[in-house]
Amino acid sequence: MKKHNFSAGPCILPKEVMKRASEAVLDFDGLGLSLIEISHRSKEFVAVMEEARALSLELLGLEDQGYQALFLQGGASLEFLMVAYNLLDKRAGYVNTGTWSSKAIKEAKLLGEVVEVASSKDKNFNYIPKGYGIPENLDYLHLTSNNTIFGTQIKEFPTTSVPLVCDMSSDIFSRQLDFSKFDLIYAGAQKNMGPAGTTLVVVKEDILGKVSRTIPSMLDYKVHISKDSMFNTPSVFAVYTSMLTLRWLKDLGGISAIEEINEKKAKLLYSEIDLNPLFNGFAKAEDRSNMNATFTLAEEGLKETFDSMWREAGINGLNGHRSVGGYRASMYNALSLESVGVLVDVMSELERKA
């Protein structure tokens, strides 16, 4: 039986995508060859890369607006450095909303001055800072739209004339935003897109080429753009599987359709967290993430019972990150409302039993 997979990433992907991807490993579209044994320069794989890039821009509503989509390697973690290499000339602003923002700040500091314009570290990152001032003289402002570990999500993005860079690793393609507000978006594939191994970077071309440093080729967005995201051998399986997930999302009705389902799932779980006296939500209610719900047990003594109950119900991946403790239910695009229902039933069953 397939488990209800609440893992934070790598995580659940649509069943039909998994089936098609696994078939392609044996025989790619009837070629008599595997997807992972053909040349990345073959016309068949070039078509995959082009479709993945085009679908990314189409789903985000960013076609014909000067943006380029790239499928790179090195994870979102390498983007922490690449963003700074390509955009940080003198001074950049960062909003520190958790572990991943802190890591992005650390890398940027290698290359220039970093102004931490706001932080929620004072409360172990359980909220999103708001109403902070943004200096005008920044090369860019870096945000993390969804904080995977702490379960907070930016609901309203700041309005500023400074170029906006956003790490959307854990909520890309999950909700409708005006993506044209952002000059650079990046996201590791392993949440809402595909297996680990590739990172989507969507960049507005006209913000590039403004720094004075020499950029090593592999770290230079302009080089990757000039080679149509094929400067070196791409992660073919991860790109193909991401392309299949993007097709799946388009067939479903795009981001606005999945957003509706994601809202239902989050509402169902957060209502249970709020109504059931045995559970406490970790994140401040107004900043709660629709992707990662973090919560703790009111009585630690119930841990063993609760853990065996959810495991018996076929639930996987519910343990919280060590920096928060408790539980984290990740409800990415491919997780069904039914799976959230199973978790909520276990939580209310615990209340009946306790």
Among 326, 318, 328, CA closest to 146: 328
Which residue carries 């025989």 as its tokens? 27
Catalytic residue among 191, 204, 220, 310: 191
Binding mask 181-210 for ligand PMP (x = CB under 6 A): -------x----------------------
Which residue carries 């070196």 as its tokens? 232
Closer CB to ligand PMP, residue 95 or residue 350? 95
d(C-alpha 52, C-alpha 69), whole Å:
9
Q: What residues from 82 to 121 belong to the interface with ligand PMP (CB under 6 A)?
A: 100
Question: Minimum distance from CB of 193 to ligand PMP (Å)?
Answer: 11
Question: Minimum distance from CB of 188 to ligand PMP (Å)?
Answer: 3
Q: What residues from 302 to 341 belong to the interface with ligand PMP (CB under 6 A)?
A: none
Binding mask 239-258 for ligand PMP (x = CB under 6 A): --------------------
167 annotated among ligand-binding-site residues: yes
- Burial class (CB within 10 angstroms; exposed 0-12, middle 13-18, buried 19+) of 216: exposed
Find the binder of ligand PMP among 86, 120, 169, 198 (CB under 6 A).
169
Q: What residues from 143 to 162 belong to the interface with ligand PMP (CB under 6 A)?
A: 144, 148
Closer CB to ligand PMP, residue 76 or residue 177? 76
Find the binder of ligand PMP among 97, 119, 170, 242 (CB under 6 A).
170
The CB-nearest residue to ligand PMP is 75
Closer CB to ligand PMP, residue 86 or residue 292? 292
Structure tokens at 316: 């996987």
53 annotated among ligand-binding-site residues: no
Contact 309, 302 (CB under 8 A): no
305 annotated among ligand-binding-site residues: no
Which residue stretch of 127-135, 164-172, 208-216, 258-266 sits at the interface with ligand PMP (rule: CB under 6 A)?
164-172
Closer CB to ligand PMP, residue 174 or residue 350? 174
- In the residue annotation, 100 being an active-site residue is answered as yes
Q: What residues from 61 to 80 belong to the interface with ligand PMP (CB under 6 A)?
A: 75-77
Question: Minimum distance from CB of 208 to ligand PMP (Å)?
Answer: 22
- In the residue annotation, 191 being an active-site residue is answered as yes
Q: Which 3-state string (H, E, C) describes the chain?
A: CCCEECCCCCCCCCHHHHHHHHHHHHCCCCCCCCHHHCCCCCHHHHHHHHHHHHHHHHHHCCCCCCEEEEEECCHHHHHHHHHHHHHCCCEEEEEECCHHHHHHHHHHCCCCEEEEEEECHHHCCCCCCCCCCCCCCCCCEEEECEECCCCEECCCCCCCCCCEEEECCCCCCCCCCCHHHCCEEEEECCCCCCCCCCEEEEEEHHHCCCCCCCCCHHHCHHHHHHCCCCCCCCCHHHHHHHHHHHHHHHHHCCHHHHHHHHHHHHHHHHHHHHHCCCEEECCCHHHECCCEEEEEECCHHHHHHHHHHHHHCCEECCECCCCCCCEEEECCCCCCHHHHHHHHHHHHHHHHHC
233 annotated among ligand-binding-site residues: yes
Find the binder of ligand PMP among 9, 195, 197, 281 (CB under 6 A).
9
Question: Minimum distance from CB of 9 to ligand PMP (Å)?
Answer: 5
Annotated binding-site positions for L-glutamate: 41
The catalytic site residues sit at: 100, 167, 191
Residues lying near ligand PMP in the complex (CB under 6 A) are found at: 9, 75-77, 100, 144, 148, 167, 169-170, 188
Annotated binding-site positions for pyridoxal 5'-phosphate: 76-77, 100, 148, 167, 190, 232-233
